[in-house]
């Protein structure tokens, strides 16, 4: 018996559904039809992204958290771990964050605030700061991207990119 990655409603391959959605084609594909998406249980890869701006590298790994999710009630929860590394020669401080979160229906939510997880970390050259946070969605997939607002030791402010990454629930089986 072979498992396939397909939408249980329209039988489109998972890669086509997600790919079209990520390309901004959710209206043409009819993303609302795809809430019955099921995935092969072997498909447990984490989503990741990486970007470097002004010698500050931001790596993100996201994964589905089934213990905090309730798909029957349209509640999916995702964890993401961020590593911020100062690859430059100057000390910097993370001052604030700006996240853009898009769910599977194309609904966009923006989150802004001081620091991350209650901190405004200072990173000397070569240092890395890591934190884990979470994101609830009402759809089984979505995406996140954003920026951190940083300041150099000398007072210059600048933004660094958080490259887009996907949030995907990977645990149901289709036979």
List pLDDT tens digits, range 62-98. Answer: 999 999 999 999 999 999 999 999 999 999 999 999 9
pLDDT at residue number 170: 80
Closest by Cα among 144, 143, 145, 129 to 82: 129
Query: pLDDT tens across 117-148, in order?
Result: 999 999 999 999 999 999 999 999 999 999 99
**Helix, strand, coil abundance in the chain, percent, nearest 5:** 15, 50, 35
- Spell out the domain ranges in the chain: 46-166
Q: For residue 164, what are its two tokens?
A: 């887009």
Contacts with 14 (C-beta within 8 Å, 6 or more apart), sequence order:
5, 6, 7, 37, 39
Element (H, E) at 20: helix 14-22
Instruction: State the Cα angle at 154 between 149 and 157, rounded to 5°.
Output: 20
Ramachandran sector of residue 58 (left: φ over 0; alpha: ψ -120 to 50; beta: rest): beta
Query: pLDDT tens across 90-124, in order?
Result: 999 999 999 999 999 999 999 999 999 999 999 99
What is each CA distance from 50 to 47, 81, 134, 160, in whole angstroms? 11, 12, 18, 11
68/87 Cα distance (integer angstroms): 35
The DSSP-derived string for 84-143 is EEE-SSS-EEEEEEEEEEEETT--EEEEEEESBTTB--EE-TT-EEEEEEEEEESSSEEE
Which residues lie across from 86 on neighbouring strands?
56
Please tell me whether residue 169 adopts helix, strand or coil conformation: coil
**20 pLDDT higher than 60:** no
Q: Is residue 154 classed exposed, middle or buried when 0-12, 13-18 and 19+ CB atoms within 10 A define those classes?
A: exposed
46-166 CATH pick, 3.30.70.3270, 3.10.105.10, 3.40.50.300, 2.60.40.1470: 2.60.40.1470
């Amino acid at each position: 018996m072979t498992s396939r990655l397909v939408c249980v409603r329209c039988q489109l391959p998972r890669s086509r559904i997600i790919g079209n959605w990520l390309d901004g084609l959710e209206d043409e594909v009819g993303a609302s039809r795809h809430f019955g998406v099921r995935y092969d249980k072997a498909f447990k890869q984490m989503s990741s992204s990486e970007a470097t701006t002004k010698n500050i590298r931001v790596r993100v790994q996201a994964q589905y958290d089934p213990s905090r999710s309730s798909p029957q009630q349209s509640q999916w929860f995702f964890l993401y771990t961020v590593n911020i590394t100062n690859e430059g020669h100057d000390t910097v401080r993370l001052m604030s964050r700006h996240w853009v979160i898009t769910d599977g229906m194309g609904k966009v939510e923006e989150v802004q605030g001081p620091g991350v997880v209650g901190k405004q970390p200072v990173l000397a050259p070569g240092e890395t700061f890591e934190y884990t946070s979470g994101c609830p969605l009402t759809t089984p997939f979505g995406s996140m991207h954003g920026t951190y607002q940083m300041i150099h030791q000398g007072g210059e402010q600048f933004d660094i990119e958080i490259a887009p990454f996907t949030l995907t629930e990977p645990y149901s089986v289709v036979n």
